[in-house]
Homo-oligomer: A and B are copies of this chain.
Amino acid sequence: MDKLRFTPLVAALPASVPFVGPETQQRVSGKPFEARLGANENGFGPGPKTIAAMQQAATETWMYGDPESHDLRTALAAHHGIAAENIMVGEGIDGLLGYLVRLLVGPGDKVVTSAGAYPTFNYHVAGFGGELVTVPYVNDHEDPDALVAKAKEAEAKLVYIANPDNPMGSWHDADTLQRMINNLPEGCLLVLDEAYLDFAPDNTAPALHPDDTRLIRMRTFSKAYGMAGARVGYAIGARDLISAFNKVRNHFGMCRVSQAGALAALGDQAWLQECLAKVEASRNQLNAIARDNGLVPLPSATNFVTMDCGRDGDFARKLVQELGKLGIFVRMPFVAPQDRCIRVSCGPAREMELFAAALPAALKAAAANAPQSV
């Protein structure tokens, strides 16, 4: 297609995508998944009040959503005790990460992350011509000191950390994160992805100082609030950084139904607490299922459990495939040595039972098919 004059940057980008959706996998296999435990969705939510608000808003979908998401931002500001000017609502954290990278990263700019951390962030960095520099996980944790050291060395514009971490479920305490913030090199912005924070113990998040120009924090309604399909994320950051999103974002990108749903969900904290208790119970179930099958569940501050299979990446990949054949959708870390694990989302009782029932056979099949990796 020589007639298409893509930019040199776009022409050089790979056609690969960060994640293949479960629907695509189902279409390939011709068989629907019976348990959808691979995308860290939250099968317990959203609550009835939220669903009712979305259903009401569906009758008003002839109107564009408010491009400022004013009501939601105002409610979030009250919820966090900060100003609405420190909050930007966007099309999920994925969308907001794309805008953020676009604001700061141009061809050749350095960005630091952990090898095996969130691929969609890496996708955005590559998409704007940034150069990704990685540091390894240490004991299945991201390494704040190494990330900061690498950011200094590379004179990076951005450094990314998720706390709690995806895909490992591990976390650092607030003091560790605050030390990371304090040690950042001048002019390097920390992207603190807190998508899973609601599931984490107290004292996981450093105190909110929204006008601190050294970091931007990402939150979402996709995980604890159980609204992945609604695409509502938000960023908390310094006002000048937040307002800069208005230079590049899709102003009318937010769905009206999603705005109404997020507002209702935020207002129903009782449901959130119920949901968190259910997730914790499910996490305990997953821990037990893993141990019953000779896998080692890693400690998790999220709505998933990453399970060490005790072998190499080939074995874990095989296990993910075998589980898929048995109707169980799970995923796994992409990068060694974390790819010795599989990652299983929490979910309702039926999904836990299906996973527990399928795991022994899947392990057996994976072992039979991957003898070289024993």
Contact = CB atoms under 8 A, between A and B. Distances in A.
A104 interface: yes
Interface of A: 1, 3-10, 13-15, 17-19, 21, 23-24, 27, 36, 39, 41-46, 51, 54-55, 57-68, 70, 91-92, 94-95, 98, 102-106, 109, 120, 127, 157, 186-187, 189, 213-214, 222, 226-231, 238, 240-241, 243-244, 246-248, 250-258, 261
B91 A62 contact: no
A230 B257 CA distance: 7
Contacts of A44: 62
B157 A64 contact: no
Nearest to A3: B213
Given A41-B63, A230-B61, A4 B247 contact: no
Given A23-B70, A98-B250, A230-B255, A64 B91 contact: no
Contacts of A98: 250
Nearest to A10: B103
* 3 cross-chain pairs, A with B, having the tightest CB-CB distances, nearest first: A229-B256, A1-B240, A54-B58
A253 B41 contact: no
Given A9-B106, A98-B250, A3 B187 contact: yes
Given A91-B253, A230-B255, A213 B41 contact: no
Given A36-B63, A64-B228, A228-B62, A4 B95 contact: no
A70 B24 contact: yes
Contacts of A229: 57, 60-65, 255-257
Contacts of A120: 251
Contacts of A18: 251
B214 A3 contact: yes
The secondary structure that dominates the A interface is loop
Contact of A63 (B19, B63, B68, B228): B228
A311 to B, nearest CB: 30
A58 B3 contact: no
B251 A17 contact: yes
Contact of A58 (B24, B186, B250, B261): B261
Contacts of A10: 102-104, 244, 247-248
Contacts of A46: 61-62
A48 to B, nearest CB: 10
22 contacts: A1-B238, A3-B214, A4-B238, A5-B104, A6-B244, A7-B106, A14-B247, A15-B246, A19-B67, A21-B68, A39-B63, A41-B64, A44-B62, A58-B257, A60-B229, A62-B226, A62-B229, A92-B253, A95-B253, A127-B248, A231-B252, A253-B253
A25 B15 CA distance: 42
Contacts of A91: 91, 250, 253
